[in-house]
Chains A and B, each alone.
Chain A
Amino acid sequence: METLSLLMDGFAVAMTAQNLFLAVLGCFLGTLMGALPGLGPANGVAILIPIAFSLGLGPTPSLILLTSVYYGAMYGGRISSILLNIPGDEPAMMTCLDGHPMALNGHAGEALSLSGVASFVGAFVATCGLVVLAPQLVKIALLFGPAEYFVLFTVAFATLGGISSTNQAKSAFAAALGLGIAMIGSDSQTGSQRFTFDHIHLYDGIDFLIAIVGLFALSEVFIFLEHHRGGSVGATNATKIGRIMPDFKMIKYCLPSMARGTGLGFFAGVLPGAGASLGSFLAYSLEKQTVDREGKTFGKGDPRGVAAPEAGNNAASGGALVPMLALGVPGSGTTAVLLAVLLQLNITPGPLLFQKNPDVVWGLIAALFIANIILLAMNIPLVGLFTRVLMVPTRILMPIVAMISFVGIYSITGSTFDVMLMVGFGFVGWLLRKLEVPLVPVILGILLGNQMEVNLRRAMTISDGDWSVLVGSPLAIILWLIAITGFVLPMFMGRRMKDRMQKNRPDDLAPGG
C-alpha cells in the first residue's frame, strides 16, 4: 500500500503541465531517433542531455524528458524494421524477420499497429514489475555470477538454430563471423590488442551500430541498385498498406505471444549483463519453438513473430531500469547514459536510492507509465503517416535512407574510418544475403561476443581454471538443460519437417551444387 501512495505522489509530480509537455516532446523525438537507422536509444538520450540541461530543467523534468526519449526510441526502432527491413536500433533486429514480410504482403499497417500494442504491453507490464518487484529482482540478478552469464549466452546461441535459415551451417558460420568481429580491439581482460594490426581506430573494437547499419541498411541499397538499375523503376511491391487501426482479432490472437515475450524480455532486462537485444532475441526464438516448431509461418509474416520480440524488447527496456536504479549497474548502453544523467543531477543510484530520493524514483516510474500511454496514443494514429514512407518511390527513398545512415554514424563517432567500414559491411552484407547466410546471427555475435568470452574468462579466473564451475550451481545446470533442448529440438523437428516436405512434394528438384 505504501508503494501505491508513493506512486500516487509520483504521478502528482509527473502530471504537471510542463512535465506532460516534456513527456510528449520526449516521446516524439525518441520515436524519431529510434526510427532513423544509426541512431539508437543510447545515442538519442546522449544527444538530448545537453538540450535538457541548456533548458535549465530540474532533475525530475530532465529525467522525464530523457526516459520518454528512451521508451520512445524503443518504440520507434520497429518502424524502419517493418517498413524498410532495416532495424532502427539493435533490439528491433528481430522485428525485421516477420514485420517486413508482413509489410510486403500488404499488411504494413497491421504490423505497425500490432507492434505498437505489443510494445505497450511489454513496457507496461515491465513498469509494473519495476514498481512491485525491484528489490526482489535485484536478488535474482545477483544469483548470476560469471559462470551463469556464460551459460545464458550459450542458451542464446544454442537456440539460434531455429532462426531464419534452413541451413544450420550457415547460421553457425554467421554467428562465428559475428563473434570473430566482436573479438577485434583491446582485450578487456588484459589490454592485449587483438586483430587490430596496429590500427588505432580498431583499438576499441567495431561498434555494433556500424555493423548493423552497414549489414542491413547499405546492403538493402545495394540490392535495390542491382534490381532497379538504370531506368527500370519498379514500384514497391508494398503499395498496399492494409488496415491502419489495430485489428482486435489479431491482437487477441497474439496476446499469449506478447505475454511470453514480455516475461522473457523483462527477465533478460533485469540481468545487467544481458539487455534488450538478448530479450527480444530470446522472445522471438522461443516463441517460434513454442508455436511454430515446423517453421511454417515464422519468417514469412506471422504476426506472432512481430508481437513476441516487440513485447520482449520493450519489457527488457523496463527491466533494465531495475539494476540501474537499485545497483547503479547499467544493463544496456542506454541505461548507462541514463545513469550518467542521474549522476549529473546529483542523484546516486544504488541500494539507497529508493529511500534517499523517493520523489525522483517514483516520479520517474510515473513518467514511464505516462510515456507509455502517450506513445500508444501517439503511435496508433501515426501509423498512417509512417506508412506513407512506402509511397515514396524506392529510387528516392533508398538514397535518403543511405544518407541518414551515414549521418547517424558520422555524427556519433566523428570518424571517416567508421563510415568507410560501414560501406565495407554493406558490401559484405549484400554478399551474405546473396549466399543466403542470415544476418541476425552476425549481429547477435557482435553484440554478445565480448560478454560471453569475458564471463567465461572471469569464471575461469575465479575457479583457478576448474571447468566444472560452469556446472557448479543449480541455476547453471537448468540453463544448460534449456540450451541443450533449444539446440537439439529444432534439429529433430527440422528433420521431421524435411521428411514431410519431401513426402508432399516428391517432384522437387534435388539441390544441386
Chain B
Amino acid sequence: MINKTLKMGVVALIAATGAFSVAQAEGFKAENPQCIAPSNPGGGWDFICRTTAKYLFDLGVIEDAMQVQNMSGGGGGVAFAHVTKERNEDNNLIVAASMSTSARIAQGIYEDAEQDDVHFLATFGAEYGAIAVGKDSKYETLTQMMDDIVADPKSVGIAGGSSVGSYDHIKPMLVAQKAGLEDVTQLKYVSFSGGGEAMTGLLSGSVEALSGDFSEMLGFLESGDIRIIAILAPERLKNFPDIPTAKEQGYDVVGANWRGLYMPAGATDEAKEFWKNAIMTMVADPGFQETLEAAAIAPFNNFGDDMYNFVAGSIADVTKLSKEIGIIQ
C-alpha cells in the first residue's frame, strides 16, 4: 500500500516537473486563471471546476488560486457564447464540459455552435448510464421491463434528471428501440430537475424506473433501496460484477458520460499546451484519482488530437442517434 502510494507519488512528481519544464520552456505562465462552470454552484460542471481548481493549485501547477465563476444559462449555452464571442483569446480560461456539452452541440441547442468554436482540452473521467428500479419492483431484469414497454409504452414511467430529449431520455429510448418498440417517443419519460430529485421520484413510487448516471445511484444501491437492472457499459464493472449489462440481456446499448474541459479556440498554442500539461499532471495525482473514485467516475483520459477526435466522434454519435430515433431532422 505504502509502496503503491509512493510509486504514484513519484509518477505525479515527474509529471509535475515535466509540466513545469514545458511551461517554462515555452514561456507561458498562468496568471489569475479562471474556470467557468456553466451552471449554478452544485452539480457536475461545478464539481469539475472546483476539483480542478483545487488540485491544480495544490499541486503547484498554477501559482495564483484559480477562480471558479458560475455562469449558468441555456444548458451551458450562455457560457459557450461568452467564451466564443467575448473571450476567444483568453489564455487563462478553462471551462467545464461533459457529454451534455457535445450532445447539445449535436442537437443544435447552442445557437449555431460547432466543435471548432472552442478548443476541447481534455477528458479525465467517464461513467456509464444505468437503469434502476425500486427494491420492491416486479421487474427483475431489463427484459421483463422491455416486454411490458413494448406491449404498452405508457405502462412504465421512467424518471430522469434532465429534460425531455436529453441524454438520460435518449438512453432508455435506445434500449426500447432495440427491444422492438416502433415509436420510441411514446416512452413515458418523466423529467425531474437533477438526478437526486429523479431518485426521490423512484423511491416515492411515482415512477417505476430511473435512467441516470451510475454514480448517482451508488449510495441507494448499497443501502438496498433500489436495484440496478442494467448498466449501459460494454462489459460488467470490475467493482460491481453482479450488475448485468444491457448488452448481455440482448440490448446492445452503451451510454457513457464523459467529464472534461474546453478553452477558448483563439488562445495561443503555448497556453493550450500549458493547460494540456496541467490537466495531465492533475490526472497523474493519486489524490485526484481518489476523488474520482469516490464519485464513482472511472478514469477516462483524452488529450490533444485524441481529444479532438473523441469529441468529434461523440458529436457524430449523438447526431446519428437523435436522427435515428427521430428527435432531430
Contacts and interface: CB of A to CB of B under 8 A. Distances in A.
Q: Quick check: do A and B touch in the complex, using CB within 8 A? A: yes
A272 B203 CA distance: 13
Interface stretch (A42-50, A213-221, A250-258, A485-493): A42-50
A200 B73 contact: yes
B325 interface: no
Interface residues of B, number: 60
A81 to B, nearest CB: 24
Nearest to A45: B41
Given A49-B50, A204-B74, A343-B295, A142 B200 contact: yes
Nearest to B218: A348
A462 B223 contact: no
A190 B165 contact: yes
B41 A340 contact: yes
Contact of A189 (B57, B163, B203): B163
B163 A203 contact: no
Nearest to A141: B200
Given A204-B78, A340-B43, A340-B46, A351 B51 contact: no
A328 B199 contact: yes
A203 B77 contact: yes
B200 A329 contact: yes
B65 A54 contact: yes
Interface stretch (A102-110, A165-173, A331-339, A360-368): A331-339
A203 B204 contact: no
Given A343-B295, A346-B291, A188 B193 contact: yes
Contacts of A54: 57, 65
Interface string B83-119: 0000000000000000000000000010100000000
A291 interface: no
Interface residues of A, number: 55
Contacts of A393: none
A397 B113 CA distance: 46
A340 B216 CA distance: 13
A272 B200 contact: yes
Contacts of B40: 333, 336
B223 A203 contact: no
B148 to A, nearest CB: 15
B154 A464 contact: yes
B219 A412 contact: no
A343 B205 CA distance: 26
Closest 10 interchain pairs by CB? A350-B219, A203-B74, A204-B73, A351-B223, A336-B42, A46-B41, A329-B196, A346-B294, A340-B42, A145-B206
Given A190-B164, A346-B290, A461-B190, 13 more contacts: A49-B41, A145-B201, A190-B163, A191-B164, A200-B74, A204-B72, A327-B199, A333-B41, A346-B291, A346-B294, A348-B219, A458-B190, A462-B188
